Amino acid sequence: MDDRLDPILSEQKSVLTKGFEYSFVGISKSSIDVVDTCVSLIWVMGNKGKVIKPRDIIENIQHTFMSEEIKSQDRFWKEHSAGSLRELVDNHFETDCTRFFKTTPIRSTSEEDREIWEKNRNFKDFLNDLAHFQVGALDKAKIVVNDDSVSEIDEKVFDKICTNFILHLEKLFKFKNR
């Protein structure tokens, strides 16, 4: 229960983490703006028929990270969050990016550009496997965080992957044509 509901505790000096133990909660508004705008554009131009905004997906997961109540009521919150996040790169995301944005990288151009899309694919594979409760999610997590010693997709690992995923999308959309 929230300490603020307690008339005695609300008068005491306390400090809260406000969710900042998770880097996902600290993703800046400007990063979310970029991802929200660009993914929304893909959804509209690609006629994807989505009834949610990318921003809502990200902010809802930030809220989930912060809420112990939600997490304890839903033991599969990570899997459900992964399913929502995957929406951002669902369908033919790579093709759509090259269709609608002049500045996103093109896979065949160079190893560097290919790596960007491979990173994207690795994120998507991880989110997909986790959302579908596939055992392969752990292996995908190891690839995404580039750490073979990961033995469990705990909050920390999940937080790191989700954050890197959003920042990866931001970089992808802010990619400047050379």
Q: Which residues sit at the interface with other proteins, rule CB under 8 A?
A: 1, 3, 5-9, 12-18, 20-21, 23, 26, 28-29, 68, 72-73, 75, 90-92, 94-95, 107-108, 110-112, 114-116, 119, 134-136, 146, 154-156, 167, 171, 175-176, 178
> Minimum Å distance from CB 60 to other proteins?
18
By C-beta, is 116 or 150 nearer to other proteins?
116
By C-beta, is 31 or 54 nearer to other proteins?
31
Task: Please choose, from the candidates 99, 95, 92, 86, the residue with its C-alpha nearest in 3D space to the C-alpha of residue 140.
Answer: 86
Burial class for 60, CB neighbours closer than 10 Å (0-12, 13-18, 19+):
middle
> Minimum Å distance from CB 123 to other proteins?
13
What residues have CB less than 8 Å from 27, skipping those under 6 apart?
58, 62, 163, 166, 167
> Minimum Å distance from CB 29 to other proteins?
6
By C-beta, is 1 or 51 nearer to other proteins?
1
> Minimum Å distance from CB 103 to other proteins?
10
By C-beta, is 91 or 151 nearer to other proteins?
91
Block residue for tokens 């929502």: 84
What residues have CB less than 8 Å from 59, skipping those under 6 apart?
32
By C-beta, is 9 or 56 nearer to other proteins?
9
- The answer to whether 103 and 96 are in contact (CB under 8 A) is no
By C-beta, is 18 or 102 nearer to other proteins?
18
> Minimum Å distance from CB 18 to other proteins?
8
- The answer to whether 14 and 3 are in contact (CB under 8 A) is yes
> Minimum Å distance from CB 142 to other proteins?
11
Q: How far apart are the first and last CA of the chain?
A: 53
- Is the CA virtual torsion 163, 168, 173, 178 positive or negative? positive
